[in-house]
Chains A and B, each alone.
Chain A
Amino acid sequence: MNNVKKVSPEAELDPRSRDLVFQMRGVSKSFPTPEGPLRLVLDDVNLDIQQGEFVCLLGPSGCGKTTVMNLLARFITPTSGTLLVHGEPLVAPNPKHVTIFQEHGLFPWRTVIDNVAFGVQAQGASKSDAREKAIKYLELVGLQEVATLFPHQLSGGMRQRVAIARALAVEPEVIFMDEPFSALDAFTRYRLQDEMLRIWQDQKTTIIFVTHDIDEAVYLGQKVVVMAPNPGRIEMVLPMNIARPCERTDSQFLYYRREIFKAFQLVHEWAPEYAI
């Protein structure tokens, strides 16, 4: 495959890079197991993420894709290797890097608008300023009509859109999304994928999107990071040269879809003991 762009471990780090939000070189992560010995969950990961890029981390469970996200979000620290954020080894989590979780994590005691305002308030804005921002971003996700409802009065898809608005309202530099649509039905998922693409093109935010859905990764990702398990590692990085939004029946779409299927076929050949 000639368009596979995997960052080599020897690739030089650029400490003053403004365009590269994240640079990972030789990053590994081990967790202690109940039995005692450390388990290697991520082995020698090398990855560059550009400013404004939509990157999908794709792979089966156990491939370490969420671990990569957690490392980038600084929820955890690498066991070894280098991770630079804007060319600098950042220690603390950055409030301009926000995460959207699978179970949205909306506060049930707050109305929709106050949920969206929460993040803005947490970053020091006054209540009225936060609400103004909240309205703006609720309009962006098309939920201004339900601003005064409580989360339990909304559908699953609407809740996830509120979570997206809450993340956008702090005008983040990076949004991490951890399988945000996997609990939704297929039709809602398609709609939200379109919405996410529109928002990304509109806001130019860097998006790191974790998924185990090949179609979702191809449809959304400018770059798809294909990962494999045992131990978790990057198999290949595929840049998607598709105009967005694309048709899901498009030949380009199907081509990349097939490429990724092939990639996972390779995984099966090399590790036949792997089972989903």
Chain B
Amino acid sequence: MWTINLRAQLDGWLAFLLVLLLWTGVAGFYTPEQLPSPLDVLKAFPELWEADMLGKHILVSMGRFLTAYGLAVVIGIPLGLWMGWVTRARQALDPIIQFLRPISPIAWFPLAVLWFGIGNAPAVFIIFLAAFFPVVVTTVSAVRQVNPLYLKVAYDFGAGPLMVFRQVVLPAAFPQMMNGLHIAVGTAWIHLVAGEMLGAQSGLGYFIVDSRNFLRTDWIIAGMIMVGAIGLIINRLMRTAERWIYRQWGQEAGSHE
């Protein structure tokens, strides 16, 4: 398994190196304020670290992200389960969800500021929206796609509705729900930066905007790299968890990356 991974990774690293070279070449034609070279950006990291400018923003961003994502899971999963299991709940609420879902969370920003003021809340609200809809929608479809044979078997043995829901529907829907949580992590993290750029006075999004005010393009790119790196790590963690669950459930890993 390792040798296969190594071979696949080698091409990845080569392509990455090529992009860096290209970047360095192109940067030669511009001033560092327009486009700093990779080396300039690399040098920005220790500088930012010593001034404790990056670390505190990362912590703030992670705090907001976890709060908003946690809220989306805590509200979205029960709502999705209810809508998936109870036909009337789905018929009543699905139109509303489907109507609100295509509205970009960013569009809520003016309202969020009017309602919650400046600070943590508008950003948390926007990240929450970005995670909430994928969680609800995948949970609903996860419950609806539970193999009817499982339900037939459970009822055949005389299992009551509570046992069927807890011991059959929940575990049967769990892998697909996990897939929804995985998708939601991605959308939530993407909207974190947007949310913090618009309203917040701290966090990675704010740091990127603030760096532009100082014309520190190397800091902007350093901030972007941090956003990408943390996003990648979160995504990998979710994927590992998801794979483990799929294995435990005896299914092939989902094709979703």
Contacts and interface: CB of A to CB of B under 8 A. Distances in A.
Contact of B150 (A98, A105, A122): A105
Interface stretch (A13-21, A147-155, A185-193): A147-155
Interface in A165-214: 170
The 4 nearest A-B residue pairs measured at CB: A95-B158, A152-B250, A122-B159, A119-B157
Contacts of A44: none
Interface in A13-35: none
B149 A101 contact: yes
A98 B168 CA distance: 18
Given A101-B149, A118-B159, A150-B248, 16 more contacts: A95-B156, A95-B157, A95-B158, A98-B156, A99-B153, A105-B149, A105-B152, A108-B250, A109-B174, A118-B154, A118-B167, A121-B163, A121-B167, A122-B158, A123-B158, A152-B250
Nearest to B174: A109
A107 B168 CA distance: 8
Looking at B150, B156, B250, B251, the one whose CB has the most chain A CB atoms below 10 A away is B156
Given A107-B168, A118-B167, A122-B159, A101 B153 contact: yes
Contact of A98 (B157, B171, B172): B157
A107 B157 CA distance: 13
Nearest to A170: B157
Nearest to A97: B156
Interface in B233-257: 248-251
A235 interface: no
Interface in B142-178: 147, 149-150, 152-160, 163, 167-168, 171-172, 174
Nearest to B168: A107
Nearest to B159: A122
A93 B149 contact: no
A95 B155 CA distance: 8
Nearest to A92: B158
A103 interface: yes
A98 B248 CA distance: 28
Contact of B248 (A93, A107, A109, A123): A109
The DSSP consensus for interface residues of chain A is: loop
A93 B156 contact: yes
Contacts of B163: 121-122
A11 B239 CA distance: 66
B149 A107 contact: no
Interface in A70-128: 73, 93, 95, 98-99, 101, 103, 105, 107-110, 118-119, 121-123
Given A118-B167, A152-B250, A107 B172 contact: yes
Contacts of A73: 156
Interface of A: 73, 93, 95, 98-99, 101, 103, 105, 107-110, 118-119, 121-123, 150-153, 170
A123 B155 CA distance: 11
Contacts of A110: 171
Contacts of A93: 155-156, 158
The DSSP consensus for interface residues of chain B is: helix
Nearest to A153: B250
Given A118-B167, A150-B250, A107 B156 contact: no
B152 A101 contact: yes
Contacts of B156: 73, 93, 95, 98-99
B157 A103 contact: no
B255 to A, nearest CB: 18
B157 A122 contact: yes
A118 B155 CA distance: 11
Contact of A105 (B153, B160, B167, B174): B153
Contacts of B154: 118, 122
A25 B228 CA distance: 72
A154 to B, nearest CB: 10
Nearest to B147: A105
Contacts of A122: 154, 157-160, 163
A109 B156 CA distance: 19
Contacts of A101: 149, 152-153
Contacts of A118: 154, 157, 159, 167
Nearest to A101: B149
Nearest to A109: B171
Contacts of B150: 105, 107
7 contacts: A93-B158, A95-B158, A108-B250, A122-B154, A122-B157, A152-B250, A152-B251
A137 to B, nearest CB: 14
Nearest to A169: B157
Contacts of B167: 118, 121
B251 A103 contact: no
B90 to A, nearest CB: 24
B172 to A, nearest CB: 7
Contacts of A121: 163, 167
